[in-house]
Amino acid sequence: MNAQSPLLSVRDLKVWFDIKAKGAMPWTAPDKLKAVDGVDFDLMPGETLGIVGESGCGKSTLARAIMRMVPAEAGTVLWLGDDLLSLNKQGMRAHRKEMQMIFQDPLASLNPRMTIGQIVAEPLKTHYPSVSKSEVKARVREVLDRVGILPNMINRYPHEFSGGQCQRIGIARALILKPQLIICDEPVSALDVSIQAQVINLLMEIQEDMGLSLIFIAHDLSVVKHISTRVMVLYLGNVVEISEAEQLYRAPGHPYTQALISAVPIPDPKAYADKEVLILDADLPSPLNPPSGCVFRTRCPLAKPVCAEIKPPLTDRGNGQQVACHVI
């Protein structure tokens, strides 16, 4: 693969769940909850793609579908030329060591009955069973030291560590296999602000050292701006904008992105008081019954009749910015 080829290419990815209404008869067809509904994007080697959007927009489901942790309804996920969705269990297992994940709740993602040494060593033992015990121990100590956990803590249990330390252990577990991609599913949302900055800086340092690609999911747009090369904005399982990070924050194209950016707090109280915040009308529609045409039209101040009839495609607006909007 040359330097310009995508490491990961996702095309028309759909993740739908069957939902039966309460009290429905057994023969009644279930409703379709469209958690992810036709997502396209590429991830380049060494790039960080930030994914943002409200709760329920499909961010975590998208990440889990890429990792085959939830089944996809349709689409392709090309990883190093292989379509992950078409692989059997054995074929997928061969790729799992190349793709790892860091989860939102640091403590809940660690087995409380295992020491941190066992937790970090587990992926290595699973994928490389022939590695000697001494080499496993050396690798575990090395990666724990890399994330800022003292090697003499190797025999302690997760409950003996703080939230920030547990997340560092989770990062070490992801790094032990030396993957090419790490998907970070809101890895700092449960941490204090000062600890968030430490974990984000650690991820950026590791990425630079190892040449990793990252998919970084978060609610905090200021965090996403700090770490991301590009940003993808999701709404009701649909991509409404993809842009270079600086371009997106300087000149957001989609009305939904504009509302998200306007809500980012500013440290200066006077500047924040003078800032215009765009308030979206109504609540997020149910993914069981999404609006026709543009899924954002029911909350969009610029909506036109065409928005209810035709789903807008992602259109290149220049400067690396793609926006799905009929009006802008």
Q: What is the pTM of this model?
A: 0.91
Domain borders along the chain are: 112-178
> How deeply is 37 buried, as exposed, middle or buried, from its count of CB atoms within 10 A (0-12, 13-18, 19+)?
buried
Rounded to the nearest angstrom, the gap between the alpha carbon of residue 25 and the centroid of all alpha carbons in its chain is: 37
**Residues 231, 322: Cα–Cα separation, whole Å:** 11
Task: Tokens for 256, please give them.
Answer: 């939904």
SS (H, E, C) the chain: CCCCCCCEEEEEEEEEEEECCCCCCCCCCCEEEEEEEEEEEEECCCCEEEEECCCCCCHHHHHHHHCCCCCCCEEEEEECCEEHHHCCHHHHHHHHCCEEEECCCCCCCCCCCCCHHHHHHHHHHHHCCCCCHHHHHHHHHHHHHHCCCCHHHCCCCHHHCCHHHHHHHHHHHHHCCCCCEEEEECCCCCCCHHHHHHHHHHHHHHHHHHCCEEEEECCCHHHHHHHCCEEEEEECCEEEEEEEHHHHHHCCCCHHHHHHHHCCCCCCHHHHHHCCCCCCCCCCCCCCCCCCCCCCHHHCCCCCHHHHCCCCCCEECCCCCEECCCCC
Rounded to the nearest angstrom, the gap between the alpha carbon of residue 183 and the centroid of all alpha carbons in its chain is: 6
Q: Mind listing the pLDDT tens digit of every residue in the chain (328 residues)?
A: 455 789 999 999 999 998 887 777 777 888 889 999 999 999 999 999 999 998 889 999 999 999 999 999 999 999 988 999 999 988 898 899 999 999 988 888 999 999 999 999 999 999 999 999 999 999 999 999 999 999 889 999 999 999 999 999 999 999 999 999 999 999 988 888 889 999 999 999 999 999 999 999 998 888 898 899 999 999 999 999 999 999 999 999 999 999 999 887 776 666 556 667 777 877 888 888 899 999 999 999 899 999 999 999 999 988 889 999 998 8
**Residues 37, 112: Cα–Cα separation, whole Å:** 36
Q: Report the candidate in 112, 108, 109, 105 with the shortest Cα–Cα distance to residue 160.
A: 112
